[in-house]
Amino acid sequence: MNFSLTEEQLMIRQAARDFAQNELLPGVIERDDAQKFPTEEVRKMGELGFLGMMVDPKYGGSGLDTISYVIVMEELSKVDASASVIVSVNNSLVCWGLEHFASEAQKEKYLIPLASGKSIGAFCLSEPEAGSDATSQKTTALDKGDHYIVNGTKNWITNGNSAETYLVIAQTDISKGHKGINALIMTKDMPGFEIGPKENKLGIRGSDTHSLIFNDVKVPKENRIGEDGFGFKFAMKTLAGGRIGIAAQALGIAAGAYELAKKYSKERKAFGTEIMNHQAIAFKLADMHTQIEAARQLVYKAAWDKDQGNDYDLSGAMAKLYASQVAMDTATEAVQIHGGNGFVKDYHVERHMRDAKITQIYEGTSEIQKIVISRSILKN
Ligand code: CAA
Ligand code: FAD
């Protein structure tokens, strides 16, 4: 067993750490307040190769492993989880899905700009009546010979307005259940493609979350990913890797909150001594450190499984379930350690606490991760 990072992974970690401190930190409170999308920061992340990290360089990507990807996700999320969810969706849900299942022509046209950071993408599975119950798709893609006609509504779509390419899951043949679902590549310039209002959110407020409304959108059949009826499997296979990215995001939120709390505990005095000298505070830090380390092992193990070609449905779900709980617990305790200062924006930990919550909800709620985990352990 080898727990060391390679020279390359250490360099990537330093690059992501520097970027987070120098480029994300300065405006993070203002972006959160104003719900401002980090346009310039995303452009720079594209230049650094963070938007297509695992994609083969022949398609414009950085050709790195999943371990490098989770390292970057952790470092960005320590500072700005809004920026990191944009990175996560583009890398794991959009680029990965296209690289593994799209045709060569689709990769040339759509993957190259996405992986090289010239544009960003969105992954559109959730609907008003199909969230956890993802097979209950109401959006339809009716087969009209050489094209589909798409009608329906998607909601909660990350990068909803800022994306150019959308991977949309829709029902073609209801009689076939989930085997009648397709995944289509859509673009927002298609007539009938409407972007709904932006959600006003508790956390990750710098990312733009919108509903999408499709009114008789004509999508050429050449935009379907894979064989007819492959759409649900496409979504599930893609999400299995996406969950590792969100687990890394949760790990980063926890680690960021912990680092701030540790620093504060060495500076703040109460009852004539730094608060770290009160055992109640020191023990909180001990718990946080231990839980973060355990979360990191689960996240890295899931990433390693993916890199080794092992099955990662189980390890990814366990990493997300555990790391998201650690993010919530750690960020809440970090606020507590900051006392009243924890409750105001200048000290950052209240944002970490608000951002942590989403990691227990999107890409499959914690309850859904337990379904995935329990089915996996019980079938063997
Ligand atoms: N890989 C390949 N195939 C898979 C799979 C996987 N990981 N998981 C399921 N499947 C297949 C099954 O084998 C089955 O196919 P067969 O009938 O051919 O065997 C088919 O998919 C249906 O599977 P289930 O019978 O298990 O379906 P279910 O209705 O019981 O639901 C579920 C399973 C795991 C709960 C699924 O619905 C699910 O993951 N729900 C959560 C949805 C979700 O995560 N949404 C996230 C949206 S994206 C997002 O959130 C992005 C963001 O925020 C940034
Ligand atoms: P529901 O499915 O209605 O669940 C409600 C509650 O019931 C939850 O606690 C859930 O765990 C529980 N529950 C449901 N079924 C079961 C069960 N069988 N057993 C036990 N408990 C159960 N979706 C996308 O497709 N693309 C995106 O880019 C995207 N980005 C998002 C960004 C944000 C900020 C948010 C809030 C959501 C985003 N989502 C996205 C949607 C997200 O994936 C869903 O919100 C999530 O899957 C839960 O679905 P739901 O909201 O419909 O909740």
Residue having the nearest C-alpha atom to atom 5 of ligand 1: 236
Does ligand 2 have an atom closer than 6 angstroms to the CB of 137? no
Check pocket membership of 249 for ligand 2, CB cut-off 6 A.
no
- In a shared domain, residues 208 and 260: no
Positions in the chain whose pLDDT score sits under 70? 380
Handedness of CA 143, 148, 154, 159 (dihedral sign): positive
Burial 230-256 (b: 16+ CB within 10 A, else e): bbbbbbbbbbbbbbbbbbbbbbbbbbb
ipTM of the complex: 0.99
C-alpha span between 26 and 215 (Å, rounded): 41
Domain's final residue, options 94, 120, 146: 120
Q: What is the number of structural domains in the chain?
A: 3
Ligand 2 atom showing the smallest separation from residue 132 Cα: 2
Name which residue sits closest to atom 33 of ligand 2, judged by CA: 156
- CA-nearest of 62, 87, 122 to 246 is 87
Measuring from atom 15 of ligand 1, which residue has the nearest CA? 233
Cβ–ligand 1 distance for 365 under 6 Å, the answer no
- Is the beta carbon of 157 within 6 A of some atom in ligand 2? yes
- Domain shared by 113 and 146, yes or no: no
Does residue 158 fall inside a structural domain? yes
Is 191 part of a structural domain of the chain?
yes
E strands, 202-341, are 209-220, 269-270, 273-274
- Of all protein residues, the one whose alpha carbon is nearest to atom 27 of ligand 2 is 157
Question: Residues 74, 194, 363, 367: which is the catalytic one?
Answer: 363
Q: Domain with 321 in it: what CATH number?
A: 1.20.140.10
Which pLDDT score is estimated for 2?
A: 86
DSSP strand pairing (147-158 vs 121-124):
unpaired
Spacing, Cα 69 to ligand 1 middle (Å): 23
> Looking at 231, 263, 293, which one is the last position of a domain?
231
For ligand 1, say whether the CB of 232 is within 6 Å of any of its atoms: yes
Q: What is the per-residue pLDDT for 371?
A: 98
Domain check: are 134 and 224 in the same one?
A: yes
3-class secondary structure, 40: helix
Residues forming a β-bridge with 168: 124, 184
Ligand 1 atom closest to Cα of residue 313: 7
Show which of 120, 143, 173 is a domain's final residue. 120
Q: Are residues 286 and 366 in the same domain?
A: yes
What's the pLDDT score for residue 1?
82
For ligand 1, mutation pick of 236, 238, 365 (most atoms within 8 Å of CB):
236
Residues 308 and 192 grouped into a single domain: no
CA–centroid distance, residue 363 to ligand 2 (Å): 7
* Structural domain boundaries, residue 338: 232-378
- Ligand 1 pocket mutation pick from 233, 246, 312, 378 by most atoms within 8 angstroms of CB: 233
Q: Are residues 249 and 149 in the same domain?
A: no
Q: Tell me, what CATH number does 153's domain have?
A: 2.40.110.10
In ligand 2, which atom is closest to the CA atom of 126?
25
Residue 173 sits in the same domain as residue 194: yes
Among 305, 328, 329, which Cα is nearest to 316's? 305
96 within some domain = yes
* 363 included as an active-site residue: yes
